[in-house]
Amino acid sequence: MRFRLTALLMVFAFTTMVQAQSALQEMVKTEQAFSKMAEEKNTHDAFMAFIADDGLLFRPGAVNGKKWMIEHPPPPPKNTDKKPLLAWQPKFAGMSASGDMGFTTGPWESKADIKDEKPQGYGHFVTVWKKQTDGSWKFVVDLGISHPQSGGPQTLWQPPDTNKTPSFKPVNVPAATEELLIRDRKFSFADYASSDVRLYRAGNLPYIGKQAAVEALAKTKGQIAWQPIGGDVSRAGDLGYTHGTYEIADDTKNVIERGSYVRIWQKQGGEWRVVMDVTNVHPK
């Protein structure tokens, strides 16, 4: 009886591990399918197909993306001989142990016409994905930055197998989310960032690693204040995100920059650490 129980537990652990690994693969393939639809059909239809009903876009502040796109249909093309292209590919991703929440990031590029040899714009995107009740993956957050140089080729990427512990104990998601929002309010980059954090700021390629990120932030002039608006946490309580608004003020308390932010958090050593920090500057 004891042997049989042990065997059953081993099968359960193995099954959970496979599910967690396949969740990562499924999510990345979904991101790739998202980009492919944008290329073959158009960006608007692709976003409508892959955004969750409560998914957020930043226009420039956080809005319900599906509602915003319905209310702002794309204008008719001025030149029907040209087909604009927004292309992107994931190059890095993370997945919760529960296999229900993850994120992807990678380079994007835009062309005035799909046949153009050179892109006219470059940047990096950040997408948070959540598994829906029907088993499909939909994104709940999407934003990014632009920068003047290519962030890398648009090639398909196969993510490595996850090394995360597959077993997990489900948490009280609302309570865990509130805990994360409290931590976000107390956020200090030097204290809460992970060693391999990715910092995304407009006009620059991503800063990867805590040292590079801290050095980049040290060049920011003015005092930064932020206010979280919302967030969510995986069922395992090991991966989550927060989003909100921020302001940068000079020495006279005059606001010189406003914007939105998204932080992706991961439990490391039992504590929440920021693994991704991206801002979206609002036009003045």
* DSSP of 160-213: PPP-S--------HHHHHHHHHHHHHT--HHHHEEEEEEEE-TTSPPEESHHHH
Owning domain of residue 20: 2-147
Task: Confirm whether 184 is domain-assigned.
Answer: yes
Predicted TM-score (pTM) of the model is: 0.89
- In the three-class reduction of DSSP (H, G, I as helix; E, B as strand; rest coil), residue 280 is classed as strand
For the chain, list the strands marked E by DSSP: 51-58, 62-64, 85-88, 92-95, 101-111, 121-131, 137-147, 193-200, 207-208, 223-233, 239-249, 255-268, 271-281
**Co-location of 23 and 64 in the same domain:** yes
**Co-location of 27 and 75 in the same domain:** yes
Task: Confirm whether 156 is domain-assigned.
Answer: no
pLDDT tens digit at each of 284 positions of the chain: 433 333 333 333 333 333 445 899 999 999 999 999 999 999 999 999 999 999 999 999 999 999 999 999 988 877 778 899 999 999 999 999 999 999 999 999 999 999 999 999 999 999 999 999 999 999 999 999 999 999 999 999 998 765 555 678 999 999 999 999 999 999 999 899 999 999 999 999 999 999 999 999 999 889 999 999 999 999 999 999 999 999 999 999 999 999 999 999 999 999 999 999 999 999 98
Hey, CA dihedral for 165, 167, 168, 169, is it positive or negative? negative
From the list 114, 110, 115, 93, the residue with the least C-alpha distance to 151 is: 110
**Co-location of 142 and 61 in the same domain:** yes
Strand order from edge to edge, sheet including 255-268: 207-208, 193-200, 271-281, 255-268, 239-249, 223-233
**Co-location of 134 and 179 in the same domain:** no
Omega before residue 60 within 30° of 0, cis: yes
Q: Provide the token pair at 180.
A: 């994360």
Counting the structural domains of the chain, the total is 2
**Co-location of 6 and 143 in the same domain:** yes
**Co-location of 124 and 215 in the same domain:** no
